[in-house]
Amino acid sequence: MNKKPKLILLPNREEMDQLLSRDIANTLRTAIHNHGHASLAVSGGSTPKNMLSLLGKEELDWSAVHALLVDERWVALDHSNSNDAMLRSTLLKEATACHYLPLKNEADNAVDGQFILEEQLDELNWPLSIVHLGMGDDGHTASWFHDAPEYQQLCSAHTQHCFAVHPGAAPYPRITLSPSAVFNSEKIVIHISGKAKRDVLEEALAQNADYPISMVLHQQQVPVDIYWAP
């Protein structure tokens, strides 16, 4: 494969959310038809909330779908910054038959939690059907942060599904899927909005760019579609 990411420009966020939710649902339907099951890894934050609610209302066999987060802050599940809480109030509120694997577990810290989660991730059917990514204004995606001491190991790992990371510029320890896990998928979609992120995206697409999101944009293993609206 030698393809550049496909950029899909929408006039507003509402239309972007509607199109992306339909496209993800169609990918899941195809996977269920072909394999009897499907899997979906989604990003947290505020951008995907509406899209995930719309996705949860799509008519498909949600009992055949396994869902998980791309990354999670190591906070209580009812914390205002918990991606788990966001997902439960959107996608999982609608798609009640969906099988869900939380990244946050009963371990006291993210490092210990990583080992528990790694065993659980091993039991999933790989590759993942689709991975939904966002991007920060600094060009990070998932919880891949340049200033995290784990960053270089995370980038070079070939078999590890997840990492505990401790970014310096972002709050809370985190647990994140590794690049090798994200790239062990059939499709990746990137979901961003606003001029500032469009500008960062254009920089990250440059051949010599070193943003964390550049790893996704430059890899040749998985097709990437980018959805953007003002």
- The whole-number average pLDDT for the span 208-221 is 97
- Residue 13 pLDDT grade (very low, low, confident, very high; cuts 50, 70, 90): very high
This prediction's pTM: 0.97
pLDDT tens-digit map of 22-55? 999 999 999 999 999 999 999 999 999 999 999 9
pLDDT > 80? residue 120: yes
- Residue 71 pLDDT grade (very low, low, confident, very high; cuts 50, 70, 90): very high
Q: Hey, what domains does the chain have and what are their CATH numbers?
A: 19-229 (3.40.50.1360)
DSSP for the chain, written as a single string: ---PPEEEE-SSHHHHHHHHHHHHHHHHHHHHHHHS-EEEEE--SSTTHHHHHHHHTS-S-GGGEEEEESEEESS-TTSTT-HHHHHHTTHHHH-TT-EEE-S--SSSSHHHHHHHHHHHHHTS-SSBSEEEE---TTS-BTTB-TTSTTHHHHHH-SS--EEEE--SSSSS-EEEE-HHHHTSBS-EEEEEESHHHHHHHHHHHSTT---HHHHHHH-SSS-EEEEEE-
